[in-house]
Structure 1
Amino acid sequence: MEGERTVGVAVDFSACSKKALKWALENVVRNGDHLILINIQSEVLYEVGEIQLWEATGSPLIPLSELSDAGIAKKYGVKPDPETLDILNCVARQKEIVVVMKIFWGDPRDKICEAIDKIPLSCLVIGNRGLGKIKRALLGSVSNYVVNNGTCPVTVVKQGDHE
């Protein structure tokens, strides 16, 4: 994977996705890479006209500088926490990487796999909520689905039991 890479990290700003992001920044992302934050919104807010247009293709790429703007974040329905934004801004300067977010609306399993192909991603890092065997059997695991159906290398960062 030499040259310019496009590294994806699935984020929902939960503790497990933040852990996956930190892991990706420490272990995968290199100087000059493009880091694409993939965010999936399950609800489509039809009051916002642009979202109707983006439902099929996902949002435009949103630069990191715009994610810090409360108006932009509200427009897209995302709530990035200050700690995550600080981490991203710091790493973007240190490693000289481009950080953008792309938002999709719908089922996370399908939309993350779709993002891999549409962007396209060189690799993807995703968190795992650590569901028990019964919940995983009933609800299904997004990370398991993406590992089995994604068309790029996928790394799952597990949420530890002690966290």
Structure 2
Amino acid sequence: MGERRVGVAMDFSPSSKYALNWAIDNIAREGDSLFVVMVARKNPEVEDAHLWMDSGSPLIPLCELDEASLMKKYGVTPDAEVLSALDLAAREKKLVVVGKVYYGDPRDKICDAVVEIPLDCVIMGSRGLGTLKRALLGSVSNYVVNNAPCPVTVVKLLGGSGSNRGKK
């Protein structure tokens, strides 16, 4: 594995895609390992899944992240935009890109990933919930910031959706 272990929490929403791009542009350096931490709410469709329900899937190398049948078994459907960004970052910055799928509450599982992998830092997007919705639904990013034993960067997507490209 690489020099530093940088984690990016990914749910394939616009905010998590933006956080991934931000991490690649601003945090990742040549030789780092980039861990894409995904949390699926449904159980995987793999025969031996009970062996890793608590600790998450085995580490998934970049070359296997785009195998639709394999990722479906893990209960995750990554998209072409994310895979393209990861492939480009791996080639240009010589990053080691690895995925890992956890099952359950994203708050707990992202914090588990920090300890189990272990990660040097975590970058994640913010859904941009208002005060009332955040109080009712809870905030994954707020929980991770307050409970993860490593630095956490929350990247906010300006305007609620779409891309921040070109905005300062």
TM range (shorter): over 0.9
- In structure 1, the residue matched to 2:21 is 22
Q: How does 1:48-87 map to 2 (within 5 A)?
A: 48-87=46-85
Distance 1:8 1:142 in 2: 15
Q: 3-state SS of the aligned residue for 1:151?
A: coil
More off after superposition, 122-131 vs 71-80:
71-80
- In structure 2, the residue matched to 1:9 is 8
**2:126, 2:156 within 8 Å by CA — same for their partners in 1?**
yes
Amino acid at match of 2:137: L
More off after superposition, 116-125 vs 3-12:
3-12
TM-fit CA distance, 1:78:
1.1
Q: CA RMSD in A?
A: 1.2
Amino acid at match of 1:17: S
Distance 1:161 1:86 in 2: 24
Distance 1:101 1:76 in 2: 11
User: Identity of counterpart residues, as a percentage?
Assistant: 57
Structure 2 residues not aligned, in runs of 5+ = 162-168
Runs of 4+ in 1 over 4 A off after TM superposition: none
**2:111, 2:144 within 8 Å by CA — same for their partners in 1?**
yes
Corresponding residue to 1:134 among 105, 120, 132: 132
Normalization by structure 1: what TM-score? Answer: 0.94
C-alpha distance after superposition, 1:91-114 (max 9, x if no partner)? 101111100101100111111001
More off after superposition, 65-74 vs 147-156:
65-74
C-alpha distance after superposition, 1:102-153 (max 9, x if no partner)? 1100111111001000000000001000011111000100000000000000
Corresponding residue to 2:141 among 135, 140, 143: 143
Distance 1:53 1:162 in 2: 38
TM-fit CA distance, 1:162:
5.3
Amino acid at match of 1:75: K
TM-fit CA distance, 1:70:
1.4
Structure 1 residues not aligned, in runs of 5+ = none
Distance 1:83 1:161 in 2: 20
TM-fit CA distance, 1:155:
0.1
Amino acid at match of 1:37: V
C-alpha distance after superposition, 1:54-88 (max 9, x if no partner)? 11111110011101111111111111111111111
TM-fit CA distance, 1:48:
2.9
Amino acid at match of 1:131: L
Q: 3-state SS of the aligned residue for 2:58?
A: coil
Distance 1:32 1:147 in 2: 26
